[in-house]
Amino acid sequence: MTVSKSILLILIGSALVTWIPRVTPFILGKMVKFPAIVTRFLEYLPLSILFALLLETVFNAKTGHLAVPKWDIVIALIPTVITAVWLKDLMKTVVVGIVAMALVRLVM
């Protein structure tokens, strides 16, 4: 087996190992009827994950010190959040966020 075939097999295997655990819950979720309380809990999960990622991005935390906001990100976040709340459109929110961050980095 040549090196390129080995690399190709490694890439395909890595893709499957990454893809299967991410897709399996969606497949199983379609087949199983969850109780109402579980469904209600799962509805808040994506929002909670996104908020945790957002907080990690916005604040610079060091052990033993208070978390300090990254002001360039906070400034770019303001129009992004306004767009998200006002339009409720993910694609437009992402575009506004990218443009806002680009403008902030251009100015600062």
Find out whether 70 and 104 touch, Cβ atoms under 8 Å: no
Q: How far apart are CA 44 and CA 38, in angstroms?
A: 10
pLDDT at position 104 is 97
Q: CB of 87 within 8 A of CB of 93?
A: yes
In sequence order, the 6+-apart residues with CB closer than 8 A to the CB of 54 are: 77
Over residues 58-87, the pLDDT tens digits come to 999 889 999 999 999 999 999 999 999 999
pLDDT value of residue 33: 87
Run means of pLDDT, 10 residues per run, the chain, 108 residues: 83 93 86 89 85 90 91 96 92 95 95
